[in-house]
Structure 1
Amino acid sequence: MKTIEVVAAIIKHDDQIFATQRGYGEFEGGWEFPGGKMEAGETPQEALVREIKEELETDIEVGDLIDTVEYDYPKFHLKMHCFICSIKHGDLVLKEHEDAKWLTIDTLDTVSWLPADLSLIEKLKCYLKNCQKL
């Protein structure tokens, strides 16, 4: 099975997390953390900065790695490096996504997360409650 390696930004502001809804492709309509594929020679952090600039016209500060999710979709294996991030500059302009929301610990379960992203929700709740590294 083909492996696709990607990065995801868990953009945090105060007690909220930014979530995006896919506007294209096989998983259109599903909710995810923004990011994308790594290019040859990039570190996960470099890829994340580039992807968020391309997708959301926003400069981010990449913080702690929260998890590396391994998930088997029917057609490929996903390896997703997930980092807590903050906004340095920009207004989170949706260029590729259908919709976006700021979610709190109490509203993280109110969207239909894509399966790989769903596996992060419990860890995020713990992170938001304790403000500690995982």
Structure 2
Amino acid sequence: MKQVLLLLRDNIKQIPFPNCWDIPGGGLEDGESPQQTIIREMREEIELVLHAPKLFNTYIKHDRIEYTFWQMADLDLSRTPLHEGQMLKWFSKEEIENLSERKIAFDFKHVLLEFFLKKKVNGT
């Protein structure tokens, strides 16, 4: 079954989108490329070593540029360490479609559905 990995953000009122599902990642550090950023963030957040993440899309927002990457992975979440957030979960296309927009951080629902559409990741 083809799915996407999401992280449940901490339930802390001071952070953006507390207790919402989010695409793992983070912000660029000085001198870092977007690809170097996702490699570092995945290693820091869940100790996953990415070898060649592929750029899926770039989104220009009014206050930032978002780079989305993807890489196939076979992770046993019961053995995956989690250093940020509450939990990890694999989501199918149908599960994403049924999630309320308010339960997905940063308006990422459209990004996830676009990924399923373009990559033909259809949950079967």
Aligned with residue 69 of structure 2, among 76, 83, 86: 83
For this pair of structures, how many residues does the alignment match? 114
Unpaired runs of at least 5, structure 1? 1-13
For residues 64-79 of structure 1, the aligned pairs below 5 Å read: 64-72=54-62, 77-79=63-65
Amino acid at match of 1:53: R
Q: TM-score, normalised by structure 1?
A: 0.71
Paired position in structure 1 for 2:45: 55
In 2: Cα distance, 1:125 partner to 1:50 partner: 25
Residues 81-109 of structure 1: CA deviation (Å, up to 9, x unaligned): 00112348995321111122101122222
Q: Which residue of the partner structure matches residue 99 of structure 1?
A: 87
Question: For 1:1-134, what aligned pairs fall within 5 Å after superposition?
Answer: 15-23=2-10, 24=12, 25-72=15-62, 77-87=63-73, 91-111=79-99, 112-129=103-120
Offset of residue 130 of structure 1: 6.6
Q: Is the 8 A contact 1:61 1:87 kept in 2?
A: no
CA contact (8 A) 2:2 2:121 kept: no
1 or 2, which has the higher strand percentage? 1
Report the structure, 1 or 2, having the larger helix content.
2
8 A contact 1:38–1:44 mirrored in 2:
yes
CA RMSD of aligned residues (A): 2.5
Using the size of structure 2 for normalisation, the TM-score is 0.76
How far apart are the structure 2 equivalents of 1:117 and 1:29? 14
- Residue 3 (structure 1) aligns with: none
